[in-house]
């Protein structure tokens, strides 16, 4: 799995064991309902074009560790408002994405605490993106 910064062309290799946890929790169809003054139900329906959430998370504490250097780079990218990236999934499909800041762009923590952090220290990270 790869995440490419569309501005700089820099590619971050993500662990292949990261799971797309909300892959089937979203649909393109959306509706709202209200009642008219007469009491009739008014239903508005539309099809969403973008905005599908893509949350990448480790399946458990023992898998999908990322090196600190990758987590640091992801945090740097998350600081850039509106940064567009290309996510290449393990099956070869690509998606244009941005960080999903409304839900927190990402969470990360070291697998083990070290007094002097190194670039290859293992981290667990949940990355929240949205398709654009």
Per-residue pLDDT of the chain (132 residues; tens, 9 = 90+): 999 999 999 999 999 999 999 999 999 999 999 999 999 999 999 999 999 999 999 999 999 999 999 999 999 999 999 999 999 999 999 999 999 999 999 999 999 877 778 899 999 999 999 999
Residue that the structure tokens 């393109």 belong to: 28
From the list 106, 113, 117, the residue with the least C-alpha distance to 69 is 117
Query: Sign of dihedral through CA atoms 90, 95, 96, 101?
Result: negative
């Amino acid at each position: 799995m790869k995440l490419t910064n569309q501005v700089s062309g820099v590619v971050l290799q993500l662990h292949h064991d990261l799971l797309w946890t909300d892959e089937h929790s979203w649909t393109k169809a959306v509706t709202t309902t209200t009642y008219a003054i007469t009491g009739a139900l008014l239903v508005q329906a539309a099809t969403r074009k973008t905005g599908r959430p893509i949350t990448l998370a480790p399946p458990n504490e023992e898998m999908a560790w990322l090196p600190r250097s990758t987590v640091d780079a992801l945090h740097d990218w998350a600081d850039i408002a509106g940064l567009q990236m290309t996510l290449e999934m393990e099956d070869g499909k690509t998606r244009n994405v941005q960080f999903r800041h409304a839900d927190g762009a990402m969470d990360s923590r070291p697998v083990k605490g070290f007094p002097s952090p190194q670039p290859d220290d293992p981290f667990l990270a949940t990355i929240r993106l949205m398709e654009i």
